[in-house]
């Protein structure tokens, strides 16, 4: 009998949310967690996001779906919220490196290219999941080579059709 894989997902939450919003659809995060488990054998899914108190219910929902939330403090600068989690995502992927067989990185951000390149060199990259081809970084696509997939075609399967939590 084949042993189940111990794969982890590292999700750039803000990048994922904003890209999906720009595509005109909302990702059902509960369905997405199940998809990650079933398709990629993900046993731990980290979700990196800047903390905003007004989204406490969303964070609770994400945790109930099985995500491990990693918060970054946010700053409001000239009316805009800043809470870039790139460094936290990369650091967590490296801290956990001995604990997972392979990683799925969910982002379209070119800042993740160095992590993706390193994970590939260690045979630890399972897949980069970018929300769409058009908005994904060329540097990220180069680093991932053939280990990248785009979520554009998952709308029918993973679109949220209910009420926002």
Q: How many domains does the chain have?
A: 1
**Domain membership flag for residue 106:** yes
Q: Is residue 2 part of a domain?
A: no
Is residue 1, in this structure, part of any structural domain at all? no
Examine the pLDDT at 49 and tell me if it is beyond 90.
yes
Q: In this predicted model, what pLDDT tens digit does every residue of 110-138 receive, in sequence order?
A: 999 999 999 999 999 999 999 988 888 99
pLDDT over 80 (residue 1):
no
Q: What was the pLDDT predicted at 163?
A: 62
Instruction: Name the residue range of residue 17's domain.
Output: 7-158
Domain at 60, CATH number: 3.40.50.1010
Would residue 51 count as lying in a domain? Answer: yes
Residue 164 lies in a domain: no
For the chain, what is the mean pLDDT? 90
According to DSSP, the residues that pair with 70 across neighbouring strands are 48
Domain assignment present for 152: yes
Query: What is the model's pLDDT at position 140?
Result: 95
Give 43's contacts (C-beta < 8 A, 6+ positions apart): 4, 5, 6, 7, 8, 37
């Amino acid at each position: 009998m084949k042993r189940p894989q111990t794969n982890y997902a590292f999700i750039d939450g803000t990048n994922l949310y904003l890209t999906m919003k720009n595509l005109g659809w909302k990702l059902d995060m509960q369905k997405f967690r199940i998809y990650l488990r079933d398709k990629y054998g993900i046993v731990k899914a980290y979700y990196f996001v800047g903390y905003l108190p007004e989204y406490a219910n969303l964070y609770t929902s994400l945790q109930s779906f099985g995500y491990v939330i990693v918060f970054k403090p946010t700053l409001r600068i000239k009316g805009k919220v800043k809470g870039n989690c790139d460094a936290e995502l990369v650091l967590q992927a490296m801290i956990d490196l001995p604990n997972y067989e392979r990683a799925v990185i969910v982002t379209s951000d070119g800042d993740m290219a160095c992590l993706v390149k390193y994970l590939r060199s260690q045979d630890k990259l399972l897949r980069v999941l970018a929300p769409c081809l058009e908005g994904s970084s060329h540097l990220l696509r180069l680093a991932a080579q053939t280990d990248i997939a785009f979520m554009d075609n998952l709308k029918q399967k993973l679109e949220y059709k209910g009420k926002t939590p």
